[in-house]
Structure 1
Amino acid sequence: MDVYVEEEVGAPPIPSLDGGWRVAPIEPGADGVAVVHDWMNRPHVAGPWDQAWPYERWAAEIARQAAGRHSRPCLAYRDGEPVAYLELYRVLRDRLAPLYPYRPHDLGVHIAIGDERDLGHGVGRRLLRAVAVGLLAADERCTRVVAEPDVRNEPSVRAFTAAGFVRAGEVTMPHKTAALMVYPRAQEDLPQW
């Protein structure tokens, strides 16, 4: 990646969403850190994320992300209530970058639904679609939103697919084999490799 191009690409935008959804960045030291810590230590999140860390480590992680241009830690709200933790990231600054032919403005999303009762009811699908559409609207140079759920996490892969993401292939990461899920602005924006 050309250093000049990397420098001109800003931090991930915070998308505006429709359908009763709202995304807000988590500020270091704010109540959102406690929410994320709680959710990450729940069994349905702790397994796939493998980040059942103490509060202090999550506080440091949120502060680190908030200070950089790689990833933005956020909470997603539905009708005013927190529903999910999101990490919105720039692929060009992520370990995913060397694993597929990314474009400089590609955006990525990690998602954790906080309450187990929200699983299996389309909450993730609706949120993922709203986030993808919102990210594409927030950065007109972005032509695709990507995600990389573990291939063994079939419910997550199904939720991304139901949200309109296309399974473009598999990528091998140090800790998992991931399904590369892509929400393209147009069909021709799907990665070819």
Structure 2
Amino acid sequence: MSIPATPSMTTVDDEITLTPVDPVRDVALIHSWVTQERAEFWGMREKSAEEVGEIYSYIDEQEHLAAYLASWQGTPWALFQTYDPFVDEIGQFYDRRPGDVGVHLLLAPGPRPAGLTAALLDFLPRWMFTDPRHQRVVLEPDVRNAKSIAVLGRIGADQAHVAQLPDKTAQFAFLTREAWATTP
């Protein structure tokens, strides 16, 4: 199962849009986000803009990976990535199921408009579950990323096991379509 092709732009409520990352156009912005201390869990703090561009060019070329800029009222506020755990190495570290799709989310640095984080955390699962093939979202933040782990319960995800991945110790969590549908 591969992540399905997506439209070039998806809009919900005319406020939040997802636009596929263009590795050339977006490299300066992404580099400015992933090299900050707060993004240490992305493993790119020491990367040059050229290296970050190469990473996102690679992602762009892969059928099982996708990267998007999430914008609110026209301003990019988050980097959102998806992967197919049946292809990606992360799938080797948990019991994969048909319908699984993995995600990563990085919020832009600096102050955000009131309610934006909550709106993104509502929008992204809603967008993921518009595809009927997606039955469970796989999340695996670094165990040291207390802020991300705290968010998991708020969105309805169930924490699972901790696993040593090649580049981090991950706290696995899963958000099923059913749990998301019943989360207030």
TM-score (norm 2): 0.84
From the superposition, tell whether residues 10 and 40 of structure 1 become closer, same or farther in structure 2 (CA, over 3 Å): closer
The residue number in structure 2 matching 1:168 is: 160
Between the aligned partners of 1:164 and 1:122, the Cα distance in structure 2 is: 18
Between the aligned partners of 2:12 and 2:149, the Cα distance in structure 1 is: 23
Query: How many residue pairs were aligned?
Result: 176
From the superposition, tell whether residues 18 and 49 of structure 1 become closer, same or farther in structure 2 (CA, over 3 Å): same
From the superposition, tell whether residues 152 and 28 of structure 1 become closer, same or farther in structure 2 (CA, over 3 Å): closer
Q: Which has the higher contact order (CA 8 A, sep 6+)?
A: 1
Between the aligned partners of 1:161 and 1:17, the Cα distance in structure 2 is: 26
Helix, strand or coil: the match of 2:23?
A: coil
From the superposition, tell whether residues 129 and 96 of structure 1 become closer, same or farther in structure 2 (CA, over 3 Å): farther
Helix, strand or coil: the match of 2:33?
A: helix
The residue number in structure 1 matching 2:120 is: 127
Residue 97 of structure 1, CA deviation:
0.7
Tell whether the 8 Å contact from 2:41 to 2:145 is kept in structure 1 after alignment: yes
Residue 161 of structure 1, CA deviation:
2.1
Residue 10 of structure 1, CA deviation:
4.3
Gaps of 5+ in 2: 180-184
Q: Deviations over 1:124-154 (max 9, x none)?
A: 44313311121111x2111111110012211
> Comparing both structures, which one devotes a greater share of its residues to helix?
1
Between the aligned partners of 1:111 and 1:12, the Cα distance in structure 2 is: 19
Q: Deviations over 1:5-59 (max 9, x none)?
A: x4xx3446468453521111012321x11110111122211x2222021111111
What is the letter of the counterpart of residue 26 of structure 1?
V
Tell whether the 8 Å contact from 1:37 to 1:54 is kept in structure 2 after alignment: yes
The residue number in structure 2 matching 1:190 is: none
Tell whether the 8 Å contact from 1:136 to 1:142 is kept in structure 2 after alignment: yes
1:94 is matched with which residue: 88, 113, 118? Answer: 88
From the superposition, tell whether residues 35 and 97 of structure 1 become closer, same or farther in structure 2 (CA, over 3 Å): same
Match runs of 1:127-166 below 5 Å: 127-137=120-130, 139-166=131-158
Helix, strand or coil: the match of 1:116?
A: coil
Between the aligned partners of 2:164 and 2:115, the Cα distance in structure 1 is: 28
Between the aligned partners of 2:90 and 2:125, the Cα distance in structure 1 is: 18
Between the aligned partners of 1:71 and 1:93, the Cα distance in structure 2 is: 9
Match runs of 1:53-68 below 5 Å: 53-68=47-62
| Percent identity (aligned) | 26
Residue 169 of structure 1, CA deviation:
2.5
Between the aligned partners of 1:17 and 1:165, the Cα distance in structure 2 is: 24
Residue 167 of structure 1, CA deviation:
1.2
Between the aligned partners of 2:126 and 2:81, the Cα distance in structure 1 is: 16
Between the aligned partners of 2:129 and 2:70, the Cα distance in structure 1 is: 17
Between the aligned partners of 1:67 and 1:86, the Cα distance in structure 2 is: 16
Between the aligned partners of 2:161 and 2:118, the Cα distance in structure 1 is: 20
How large is the Cα RMSD of the aligned pairs? 2.2
TM-score (norm 1): 0.81
Between the aligned partners of 1:162 and 1:179, the Cα distance in structure 2 is: 15
